[in-house]
Structure 1
Amino acid sequence: MIDKKKILLWRDSRFLKTFFQVFIVLVLGLVILILSNNLVNNFKRLGLNFGLFFLIDSDRTASFSISDSLIPYNSTDSYGRAVLVGLLNSLRVMISGIVLAFIVGITVGLGRLSDNWLVRKMASIYVETVRNTPLLLQLFFWYFAVFLKFPKIYEPGNFYNLIFFSNQGIYLPRPLGNLQTFLFLGFIIFNSFLAGLVWRKRNQMIVQLKKKERPYQGLMLGILIFVSLIFIFGIDWQLPQYNSDINLIQGGLNLSPEFATLLLGLTIYTAAFIAEIVRAGIQSVSKGQWEAAKALGLNPSLVMRLVIFPQALRVMIPPLTSEFLNLAKNSSLAVAIGYNDIYAVANTVSNQTGKAVEMLLIVMITYLVFNLIISTAMNQLNAIVRLKER
């Protein structure tokens, strides 16, 4: 038996692991120290001061306008508020893009496995075309060839006076932010939660009864119709209205051409990669699972929803995380089409103030935090759906 006390220090695996980890940390710390010292010396040589107080200095106004803003903003506001507007614009695109890309990706991925020849081929053409075309080129196509070719503002297109569209943007009805709206939204959320519980119980009964009947189908349909009616008629809506005297569409929710281009481009591009992830995840489930589910009398849609897709989700989540992170980082291409995200705003502030290092640091931290949040959320989801071993 080998005496652990007689093992030489440089042959002890535990010591070597600890030593190399400490050594790497020290080297990284030394590199950061050298770079920081060079940065300080260069700032002194150029007569510059490092600091972020200019963001909240009320005497220094941004002096530039931002077309898209989720919060009130004008050119007389501080640089800090301009950066906040850009940050919210980036967050708006990321969240909307992730949700839409996931929905479209699942739909196209299922289409790739469809028994219908036309659907399968159309999905394949979409995936292969989009995946092999640069994203920036796609953004230029949607912006210059689609949205800027909409009717002029003095002759806007409209859909039953509910939706207007022109080369100035797309105008949709939006709910008013009053007490009645919030009460009805709370009621809708409660009914949606109730519908989710009924849906879960319904799925359990379908499997347990081993019959093709659909229990609670009437109740589910009733809840869906009830919630839809409340959403349409119970909430106060502000409709867009076209003023021909000043050639302007007022009211409603305005989606600018830049925002619509970026959202549509990121959604279509990322969805093509998600579709392949969905297809591969579904095909990774063994054929025995399909046959066992069909033997229980489940129809194809129930087989996919109750048996196959939950198992495929365990395989899909890790690569989905990468695609969501790519979408968040690809949103920085907004500057190419004039959308004022955090990168575009930071670039403008940097040119006006000369605070290039500070603004670059803010942009880096912003994208780092966004990506860490997405990664953490997906890791938690992965921990929930993965197989639990005893």
Structure 2
Amino acid sequence: MQTAANQTPTRGSLLYDPKFRGAVYQVALIAIIAFVFYEAASNAVENLRRARIASGFGFLENTAGFDINQALINFSAAGSTYGDAFIVGLLNTLLVAAIGIVFATILGFTIGVARLSRNWIVAKVAMVYVEIVRNIPLLLQLLFWYHAVLAPLPQPRNSIQMGAGFFLNARGLYLPKLIFESSAWYVLGAMVIGGVAAFLFRRWAKEQQQRTGRQYPIGLMTLALIIGLPVITWIVLSAAGAHPATVDVPIKGTFNLTGGLQVFPEFVALLLGLVIYTAAFIAEVVRAGILAVSRGQTEAASALGLTPGQTLRLVVIPQAMRVIIPPLTSQYLNLTKNSSLAVAIGYPDLVQVFMGTVLNQTGQAIEVVVITMAVYLTISLVTSFIMNIYNRRVAIVER
């Protein structure tokens, strides 16, 4: 007959295994979370049924019945669905986020480096820019650009001509539009080939530099391959009579402008606000990253005969990137999420189109909100994933 002492777990049993206990705790936590979500979903479905509110995602196939002024795909009130409206809003959000990230990065790096300039005026101007812009709410800046800067522009009949084919008025910026033909695929193929060749040349040049110490013009060669090769292809096709594209130039009429590409003032105001606001924070991130590099690195580069520009580009910035990338990722995510403030100035982004017009017409609050949240979550996770890959590449490897 076993005693109570013999029934106690021994040191070798599963109860003393930290991995087993950790797995049990995790399974229990997952079960609790799943139960909470199940109860919440069940209650939501039951409440919708009692209130006689339709549920499900079938509304996405219904006809929208409204127009959107800026659409990157074909969209019409009579023939497009709510699902098409969702795609239009999503593409508009991705467009302003992608362009905003590029310009905010360029401006932010420039301002961040300028803050550390030895020129007193340049450093102080950069400091004033950062301190003023980042302490004014973004919403107020968007309203300023839209109502105070763009709204007072003249009407189309009095458009400001900014060169051949460029007009500016209260309805936006009109500029020449390229209409691509079938032969444009050859130009795109040349660009892809140039990008692959530039990547291979960059790897070869770095290997040669590590082996022999000789430096090659990587930047100039990259530009020549990515830009020069498509330009040469374009010229050859044009000389052969197969023009890759034609130019549609806007023409000023009595009351309006016809032809060309119209950039709406809502898009311009949103892009200006996001770029200028986010660049102020990126500038501080860049400045902190540069200051994190030891002064001895700069002194060693000077002793080797490098100019200040070469020292910054070849020594300081590469080492500062390991400090810059993590907070820079947060700024990219903030810019994408801040684009939802476009609803204040009427830019047809995902929030304005889907959570605004579509939600008001369909009443599918739960479905619309869940889809919108899932989209922003996906965009943020993809952005973080890409930036984390780059962060691992620039991180210092311990030996």
Place the TM-score, normalised by the shorter chain, in its bin.
0.7 to 0.9
Aligned length: 382
- 1:245-284 Cα offsets, whole Å, 9 max, x none, are 4512422x32111111111111111111111111111110
Select 2:46's aligned residue among 41, 47, 61. Answer: 41
The 3-state SS of whatever aligns with 1:65 is: coil
Q: Secondary structure in 1 aligned to 2:158? A: coil
Alignment pair present for 1:262 and 2:262: no
Distance verdict in 2 for CA 1:218–1:18, change over 3 Å: closer
What CA distance in whole angstroms lies between the structure 1 residues aligned with 2:54 and 2:218? 68
For the Cα contact (< 8 Å) 2:174–2:250, is it kept in 1? no
Structure-1 separation of matches of 2:286 and 2:269: 25
- In the alignment, which of 321, 328, 344 is matched to residue 329 of structure 2? 321
Shift of 1:16: 5.1
1:24 to 26, 29, 35: 29
Report the secondary structure of 1:339's partner residue: coil
Query: Deviations along 1:31-70, whole A, 9 cap, x unmatched?
Result: 212211210110111112311112124xxx2111101110
C-alpha distance in 2 between matches for 1:276 and 1:217:
26
One-letter code aligned to 1:254: Q
* Residue 183 (str. 1) matches residue 186 (str. 2): yes
Question: Cα distance 1:92–1:356, how it changes in 2: closer, same or farther (>3 A)?
Answer: same
Structure 1 residue 115 and structure 2 residue 123: aligned? no
Do the aligned residues in 1 keep the contact of 2:146 with 2:265 (CA within 8 Å)? yes
Secondary structure, aligned partner of 1:326: helix
Are the structure 2 counterparts of residues 75 and 215 from structure 1 closer, same or farther at C-alpha, using a change threshold of 3 Å? closer
CA contact (8 A) 1:281 1:315 kept: yes
> Is the 2:93–2:349 contact (alpha carbons within 8 Å) kept by the matching residues of 1?
yes
Following superposition of structure 1 onto structure 2, how do residues 19-168 of structure 1 map, counting pairs within 5 Å?
Answer: 19-57=24-62, 61-76=63-78, 77-168=80-171
1:307 has 2:315 as partner: yes
Bigger drift between 10-19 and 159-168 goes to: 10-19
More moved, 288-297 vs 195-204? 195-204
Deviation at 1:30, TM superposition (A): 2.2
Secondary structure at the aligned position of 2:262 is classed as strand
Quote the residue 2:241 is aligned against: none
Q: Deviations over 1:317-357 (max 9, x none)?
A: 11111111111111111111001111111121111111111
Which residue matches 1:272? 280
| TM-superposed deviation, 1:382 | 1.1
CA deviation map 1:283-308 (0-9, x unaligned): 10111111111222111111111111
Distance 2:253 2:50 in 1: 59
Q: CA deviation digits over 1:66-122, x for unaligned, max 9?
A: 011101111111111111111111111111111111111111111111111121111
2 CA distance for matches of 1:121 and 1:367?
A: 37
Contact 1:210 1:298 in 2 (8 A): no
Instruction: Structure 2: give runs of 5+ residues left out of the alignment.
Output: 1-8, 239-243
Identity of aligned residues (%): 43
Q: Aligned match of 2:252 in 228, 243, 246?
A: 243
Q: 1:383 to 1:35 in 2, by over 3 A?
A: same
Task: Pick from 375, 380, 383 the counterpart of residue 371 of structure 1.
Answer: 380
- State the AA in 1 paired with 2:40: L
Verify: 1:173 aligned to 2:173, yes or no: no
Q: Is the 8 A contact 1:93 1:331 kept in 2?
A: yes
Q: Aligned partner of 2:143: which letter?
A: F
**What is the TM-score with the length of structure 2 in the denominator?**
0.85
- Taking structure 1 as reference, are residues 332 and 223 closer, same or farther at Cα in structure 2, changes over 3 Å only? closer
Cα contact 1:243–1:250 (8 A) shared by 2: no
Q: Which residue of 1 aligns with 2:305?
A: 297
SS at match of 1:149: coil
Please give the alpha-carbon distance, in whole angstroms, between the structure 2 residues aligned to 1:11 and 1:202.
56
Query: Structure 1's 369 and 107: CA in aligned 2 closer, same or farther, altered over 3 A?
Result: same
TM-score in terms of structure 1 length: 0.87
Between the aligned partners of 1:317 and 1:301, the Cα distance in structure 2 is 21
Conserved? CA contact 1:161–1:241, under 8 Å: no
Q: 1:377: how far off?
A: 0.6
Q: Quick one: structure 1 residues 210 and 366, their matched pair in 2 at CA, closer, same or farther if it must change by over 3 Å?
A: closer
Aligned alpha-carbon RMSD (Å): 3.0
**Cα distance in 1 between the residues matched to 2:13 and 2:275:** 58
Q: 1:137 to 1:222 in 2, by over 3 A?
A: closer
Verify the 8 A CA contact 2:165 2:251 in the aligned structure 1: no
Distance in 1 (CA, whole Å) between partners of 2:273 and 2:43 is: 41
Check the 8 A contact 1:162/1:239 in 2, yes or no.
no
Of 334, 338, 341, 2:346 maps to 338
Deviates more, 1:309-318 or 1:188-197: 188-197
